[in-house]
Amino acid sequence: MLRDRLMALVQPVIEGLGYELWDLEYAPGRGDGLVRVYIDATAGGLGATQISDALYGGTLTISRELDQKRFANGTGFDLAGYSSGKRNIEFQMDFAKTDDIVGSGSESDAWFSETAVDRFVRLAFTSTSIITGVTPYSWEIDMPLRYYTRADDAEGGNSVVQLTGHQFYQSATLGYAFKSIVVNKLTLAGLETATS
């Protein structure tokens, strides 16, 4: 069940970047992996404020619009000069109703603000399996978000708040709208073999 939930979270990200996810290994007997979520108010604080005992889950969606004015005709579809539309990155988080999430000065307060409030999010996945020495397999995703949608729901019989943020380009300090770093033991030669 956890493997399916991880696949649902990881696969859209991989495919949104133009890659294909072949498999996701989940071996429950080998130790506990860690998934951490950080939400900060400034880009400089990215990775400093960990959300603890509040996040039930989340859905990361990456999509790209196509230029609707270009159509395939009887001779095929010519990609020369083709441009795709804008990329949309959205992260929906399902939170328990804790003081950090609802109430005065909470994440819900940021959502209810008259103007969109910037949030800087890091998802950090760390395996207990070691590649070499003390370096574990890991994956970090960083993105600036602004909350636009709030909904109330339930997870396992508990009330939750769903906050959905949309990425934006934060040129002043980050210079990116989405960053993903994977640490594994795949070599450049292995990567070339895998893609050919």
What pLDDT, in 10s, does the model give residues 129-173? 888 888 888 889 888 888 888 888 877 777 888 888 888 887 777
At 24-70, the pLDDT tens digits run: 655 544 456 667 777 777 788 787 777 777 777 888 888 877 655 55
Q: Just give the CATH number of 2-65+84-195.
A: 2.30.110
Domain ranges of the chain: 2-65+84-195
pLDDT at residue number 124: 87
Q: Sign of dihedral through CA atoms 12, 16, 17, 18?
A: positive
Task: Look at strands 84-96 and 179-183 and give their pairing.
Answer: unpaired
Taking residues 102-127, report their average pLDDT: 80
pLDDT at residue number 3: 65
pLDDT at residue number 82: 55
Q: What percent of the chain has pLDDT over 70?
A: 71
Taking residues 107-122, report their average pLDDT: 78
Does the structure show a pLDDT above 60 at 181? yes
pLDDT at residue number 29: 45
Q: How confident is the model at residue 1 (pLDDT cuts 50, 70, 90)?
A: low
Q: DSSP per residue over the chain, as a string?
A: -HHHHHHHHHHHHHHHTT---------GGG---EEEEEEESSGGGTTSSB--S-EEEEEEEEEEEE-TT---BTTB---TT--EEEEEEEEEEEEE--TTTSSTTSHHHHHHSSSPPEEEEEEEEEEEEEEETTEEEEEEEEEEEEEEEEEEEEETTEEEEEEEEEE--BTTTT-BS-EEEEE-S--HHHHHHHH-
pTM listed for this prediction: 0.66
